[in-house]
Amino acid sequence: MSVVVSAKGVEKKFGDFTAVKNTTLNIRQGECFGLLGPNGAGKSTFINMLYGVVRRTSGELKIFHMDPNIESRSIKKRVGVVTQENALDESLTVWENMMIYAAFLSIPREKRKDQIDSLLKFMNLDHKKEANIRHLSGGMRRRLVFVRALMGNPEFIVLDEPTTGLDPAVRHLLWGKVKELKNRGCTILLTTHYMHEAEVLCDRLVIMNKGDVIAEGTPKELINKYTPGYVAVYSAQKTTEEQINSLSTKKPNFLFSKDSTGFHLRAPTLKDLIDSRQEITSEPDQIRPANLEDVFLKTTGQELSADD
Ligand SMILES: Nc1ncnc2c1ncn2[C@@H]1O[C@H](COP(=O)(O)OP(=O)(O)OP(=O)(O)O)[C@@H](O)[C@H]1O
Ligand SMILES: [Mg+2]
């Protein structure tokens, strides 16, 4: 399978501060690749280096075999980007913003109108085409930035938190579109703070923390490696930490952690958890398979274990 993006030891320093450290990864043609990590991990900085908005400090970076430090303009024409900040011209209308971008991409004049019309329809924005950007809701702006990135049918699409601020129905609509783009052979780089979204869309992903890539794999591989099994969530109002923790001490393959949602007990199988219910006076609020959110909290050190 051919590689669309290859990064070897990529680094970005802002003065003395290193925002992206020694990052090595490959994005294969036709996959949806996820870039996850806490706020400030370096995700947007990496994305910005990829299409030449930010110049990397060192390392090798290629997209379509081009170096973004040198060929940024050609890259921008082949990549659709949903930036984290909307970057729309506030003084213009929806239609005018789309037309400017169509001109930048050198889409033939006679094709612009039809393409913009169909893109706006797709995200239910056609009734807003004469509206000024500043009169759009936050979710509508996000939808507009998304469809603008699809203009000219790019082979590679970068989505930096594309669904932030979208209502659940529109978010699902966008997921459907991302899957459709993938089925057409498009390669996608996705950043999101919604772990379920990453699980639904990403073939492979990396987790970054403080500029470093700390984990890499398919969602399933990451769950199996870092947080295999099932999780029972107990409410802090209904049970005590000691009760849950003592169970995890007695059973070596049980793991205890806690967060604002309550106490978590993770065990290798569903049966282990169900069998252990008699030893705890209250019923769990939830029993579920371990998910990418568990992996995220564990690998980024944000999960509190019994020892903290
Ligand atoms: N132009 C800049 N000058 C100085 N520091 C910067 C600049 N851009 C980003 N940083 C710093 O680099 C680090 C990484 O920022 P970045 O925006 O890449 O994080 P992120 O992973 O995208 O976070 P978020 O999830 O909040 O979007 C942060 O500490 C940020 O303050
Ligand atoms: Mg960001």
Instruction: State the pLDDT at residue 303.
Output: 65
Q: Report how far apart, in Å, the C-alpha atoms of 280 and of each of 239, 247, 288 are.
A: 8, 8, 17
Contacts of 269 (CB under 8 A, 6+ apart): 229, 230
Q: Which atom of ligand 1 is nearest to the CA of 42?
A: 18
SS3 69: coil
Statement: residue 304 has pLDDT above 70: no
Residue 12 Cα: closest atom of ligand 1: 12
In angstroms, rounded to a whole number, what is the distance separating the alpha carbons of residues 115 and 37? 35
**Mean pLDDT to the nearest integer, 53-78:** 95
CATH code matching the domain that covers 229-289, chosen among 3.30.70, 1.10.3470, 3.30.420, 1.25.40: 3.30.70
Does residue 1 surpass a pLDDT of 80? no
Q: Which of 18, 36, 43, 212 to mutate to test the pocket of ligand 1 (most atoms within 8 A of CB)?
A: 43
What is the pLDDT, as a whole number, of residue 199? 96
| Ligand 2 ion: nearby residues, β-carbon < 5 Å | 43-44, 84
pLDDT of residue 283: 87
Mean pLDDT confidence for 80-103: 94
Helix, strand, coil fractions of the chain, as percent rounded to 5: 40, 30, 35
Could you tell me the distance, in angstroms and rounded to a whole number, from the CA of residue 211 to the centre of ligand 1?
Answer: 9
Q: Over the chain, what is the mean pLDDT?
A: 92
Which atom of ligand 1 is nearest the CA belonging to 20?
A: 14
Integer Cα distance of 91 and 96 in angstroms: 10
Q: What is the pLDDT of residues 140-149, one digit of tens each?
A: 999 999 999 9
Cα–Cα separations (whole angstroms), residue 9 to 24, 42, 55, 62: 5, 14, 14, 12
Backbone φ and ψ of 70, nearest 5°: -110, -40
Q: Which long-range contacts (CB under 8 A, 24 or more apart) does 180-186 make?
A: 181/150, 181/157, 182/30, 182/31, 182/32, 185/29, 185/30, 185/155, 186/30, 186/154, 186/155, 186/156, 186/157
At 259-303, the pLDDT tens digits run 888 889 999 999 998 888 888 878 889 999 999 999 999 999 876
Q: Supply the angle between the helices 94-104 and 109-122 in degrees, to the nearest 10.
A: 130
Distance of alpha carbon 112 from alpha carbon 110, whole angstroms? 6
Count H helices, E strands: the chain? 11, 14
Q: Which structure tokens are listed for 206?
A: 């990396």
Question: Which ligand 1 atom sits nearest the alpha carbon of residue 37?
Answer: 21
Which ligand gives the minimal distance to the CA of 55? 1
Residues 6+ apart with CB under 8 A from 103: 112
Give the range among 85-94, 128-137, 247-256 with minimum mean pLDDT.
247-256
Query: Across residues 209-236, what is the average pLDDT?
Result: 95
Using a 6 Å cutoff on CB, does residue 55 contact ligand 1? no
CA of 14 to the centre of ligand 1 (A): 9
What residue ranges do the domains of the chain occupy?
3-220, 229-289
Q: Is the pLDDT of residue 306 over 60?
A: no
Paired tokens of 295: 């992996």
The pLDDT score that the predictor gives to residue 26 is: 97
Q: Is the predicted pLDDT of residue 307 greater than 80, yes or no?
A: no
Looking at domain 3-220, its CATH class is: alpha beta
Helix (H) / strand (E) containing 14: strand 3-14
Confidence of residue 305 (pLDDT cuts 50, 70, 90): low
pTM over 0.85: yes
Answer with the residue of higher pLDDT: 251 or 17. Answer: 17
Distance 83 CA to ligand 2 centre (A): 9
Q: 186: pLDDT confidence band, cut at 50, 70 and 90?
A: very high
Asked if residue 42 has its Cβ within 6 Å of ligand 1, the reply is yes
Does the pLDDT of residue 81 top 70, yes or no?
yes
CA of 43 to the centre of ligand 2 (A): 5
Confidence class of residue 5 from pLDDT cuts 50, 70 and 90?
Answer: very high
Q: pLDDT class for 238, splitting at 50, 70, 90? A: confident
